Amino acid sequence: MTSAALNANPAPAILPGSGGLRGALSDLFWRKPKVLLLLMLLPPVLWLGIVYIGSLFALLAQSFFSIDEFSGLINREFTLKTYGDLLQAANLDIILRTVTMAALVTLASAVIAFPIAYYAARYARGRWKALFYLGIMLPLWSSYLVKIYAWKLILAKEGILTWLLAKLHLLWMLDAWLSLPIVGGNSLSVSFTGTFIVFVYVWLPFMILPVQAALERVPGNLVEASSDLGASPGQTFRNVLFPLALPGIVAGSIFTFSLTLGDYIIPQIIGTSRLFIGQAVYSQQGTAGNIPLAAAFTVVPIVIMGFYLWGAKRMGAFDAL
Amino acid sequence: MRSDGSQSAPLGLKIAAACGLLFLHLPILLIFVYAFTTEEKSFVWPPPGLTTQWFAVTWNRPDVWQALSLSVRVAAISTAIALVLGTLCSAAVSRTRFFGRETISLLVILPIALPGIITGIALRSAFSLADIPFSFWTIVLGHATFCVVVVYNNAVARFRRTSGSMIEASMDLGADGFQTFRHVVLPNIATALLAGGMLAFALSFDEVIVTTFTAGQQQTLPIWMLEELIRPRQRPVTNVVAMVVMLVTLLPILAAYYLTRDGDQIAGSGK
């Protein structure tokens, strides 16, 4: 039945179509919801498919190109030479250093995040709950560079931390720490310790949120039952709370791990001159102009995160997101 | 059922949680103090004196204004694109079940799930392969891509709570698809879209990692800050800009929180 036929014979319960292009379109969407679905999906899928997935493939393609060492031009022929370059000792060092840092940052974030998340999930109520939520959301969303800048102010030799330790007569502890190999340095702002602190600070909210979400789902009476049955708080934590919070911790660790693997700004501003993966990528594509090697370098975090996500999925971490 | 209403937390837990929150907030507060310091050459603490002269100095800096204006324009256009794409995508995903629905969710989340440097270098190498010169639009292209997910997440959460029977009721009462969208769907999702849009704006305004790969020689405000961080030339001006950036990103976050607050509480109590 066409809409013209409806108009000629108006049945009492059926309204006439609104007519015109708009009416025709509206009727079409009603009769064929698939058309509407297709029209809604087309723009975002085209955008993300072309801009993002297309770029990822361009990146992957570049990693199989190589750079001509004499002319500096990129040779657009398939080769595995760039991946061979990636396996040099210096580059493996960079990868190992970054992965170690990511693992340490993830561990520290989990330890600091747990009490905040547990308090927010189990004890905070009403106004305090809202306050905790904002207290986690604001640092999460506030400017990334400004947060790093704040730590530069704190960790500088003449900064607030040195001042505070001097007032407490604890400066000898800082000096002793800085004189250690690897983690030490001239001042905290040019040491791995500084890099580590800033990484933990910047990614901590990403850990708190999923852990809190996981702990919200633990009924309070489970904890009570555990202590009724004679478990000490430590035993309750080990045998009840921790296993139930683990998917949340793994979910949070996806963020802390992945973000640390890919970051190049924090170690550049607060840290030593030894490179992390992100810095290697940045300097290869920028000053060295070696986009193939930069592309091959980014494949490393993608592969690591692929395995990580696969493991996390098996631990049920995605339900806690 | 909960029986822990009257219980209070163990002291150790309280202290650990409080220390954690202080760790998160003290560094941010420090920025506000340093914006007023009279010290020009170093980050010395405590500040030798307080002054507001750096606000005037910053106000008269054309490079700061140019960077700010570029950042605002990029953020506005990226947010607009993200709003359209994110809303369409969330409407499609939450209204119907179809083959590949999960893949679409993954596709939207991917640009933010992978480290920014991958998005950045991927776009950079695509531009290089396709011989596209850097411009205003190459920045927007990158920003809009990872802003979609913020709008999408907010809108999907709202669609989940909006009952589909309202749409059916509107159609039964004789409204056509456009009228239903205008008078039923849009008012329902408006605050979620506003919140998503604000978060997207804040995200784009603050973005630096992807931007360094797609901007070429152009300076957004975060890139201006990054250069100051690497090679400090004007510490007092940087202090002031840091404070302003902090405020510009915090206000939309607070607004977005108040716009979606009721929903969050409902979602939180539904466990």
Over residues A11-35, the pLDDT tens digits come to: 555 555 556 777 788 888 877 878 8
Structure tokens at B9: 């937390």
Q: Do A150 and B30 touch (CB under 8 A)?
A: yes
| Contact (CB<8Å) A58/B98 | no
Question: What confidence score (pLDDT) does residue B101 get?
Answer: 77
Q: Which positions ≥6 away from B194 have C-beta within 8 Å?
A: B256, B259
- CA separation, residue A50 to residues A35, A44, A54, A124, A215 (Å): 22, 10, 5, 45, 39
Alpha helix stretches (DSSP H) within chain B: 11-34, 53-59, 62-95, 101-113, 116-130, 136-161, 164-172, 177-180, 186-206, 209-214, 221-230, 235-269
The distance of B192 to chain A (nearest Cα, Å) reads: 17
pLDDT digits (tens, 9 = 90+) for A256-311: 888 898 888 999 888 888 889 888 888 887 777 788 888 888 888 888 888 888 88
Q: Does B182 touch chain A (CB under 8 A)?
A: no
A280 CB near a chain B CB, below 8 Å? Answer: no
Mean pLDDT throughout A108-122? 92
Is A306 in the B-facing interface, judged by CB distances under 8 Å? no
Selected residue with higher pLDDT from A19 and B160: B160
Mean pLDDT for A215-237 is: 86
d(CA B47, CA A31): 70
Q: Enumerate the residues of chain A whose CB falls inside 8 A of the CB of residue B171.
A: 30
Shortest Cα distance from B115 to chain A (angstroms)? Answer: 5
**Mutation for A interface: B156, B176, B260, B269, most A CBs within 10 A:** B176
pLDDT at residue B217 above 70?
A: yes
Taking the Cβ of residue B167 and every Cβ of chain A, the question of whether any pair is shorter than 8 Å is answered with no
Chain A residue numbers touching B185 (CB-CB < 8 A): none
Q: Is residue B3 over pLDDT 60?
A: no
Chain A segment 78-117 residues within 8 A of B by beta carbon are 112-113, 115-116
In sequence order, the 6+-apart residues with CB closer than 8 A to the CB of A27 are A3, A17, B176
Q: Report CB contact under 8 Å: B246, A130.
A: no
The verdict on A244 touching B (C-beta cutoff 8 Å) is no
The pLDDT mean for chain B works out to 82
Nearest CA in chain A to B168: A30
CATH architecture of B58-269: Orthogonal Bundle (1.10)
The pLDDT, as a whole number, for residue A108 is 95
Burial A93-107, CB ≥16 within 10 A → b, else e:
ebbebbbebbeebbe
Percent of chain B with pLDDT over 90: 14
Local structure of A92: helix, strand or coil:
helix
For chain B, positions 192-211, list CB contacts with chain A under 8 A.
199, 202, 206, 208-209
DSSP annotation of A9 reads S
- All structural domains of chain A, each given as residue ranges with its CATH number in brackets, are 86-320 (1.10.3720.10)
CA-to-CA dists, residue B168 to B93, B147, B173, B175, angstroms: 18, 31, 9, 10
What's residue B86's pLDDT? 92
The pairs formed by B157-160 with CB atoms below 8 angstroms and a separation of 24 or more are B157/B192, B157/B260, B157/B263, B157/B267, B158/B188, B158/B189, B158/B191, B158/B192, B158/B263, B159/B90, B159/B91, B159/B94, B159/B95, B159/B189, B160/B94
Q: Which of the listed ranges B6-10, B30-34, B264-268 does the model predict with the highest average pLDDT? A: B30-34
Residues 6+ apart with CB under 8 A from B70: B136, B218, B219, B220, B221
pLDDT of residue A86: 83
Q: Residue window 6-65, chain A: list those with CB within 8 Å of chain B.
A: 15, 17-18, 22-23, 25-27, 29-30, 33, 36-37, 40-41, 43-45, 47-49, 51-56, 58-59, 61-62
Confidence class for position B271, pLDDT limits 50, 70, 90: very low
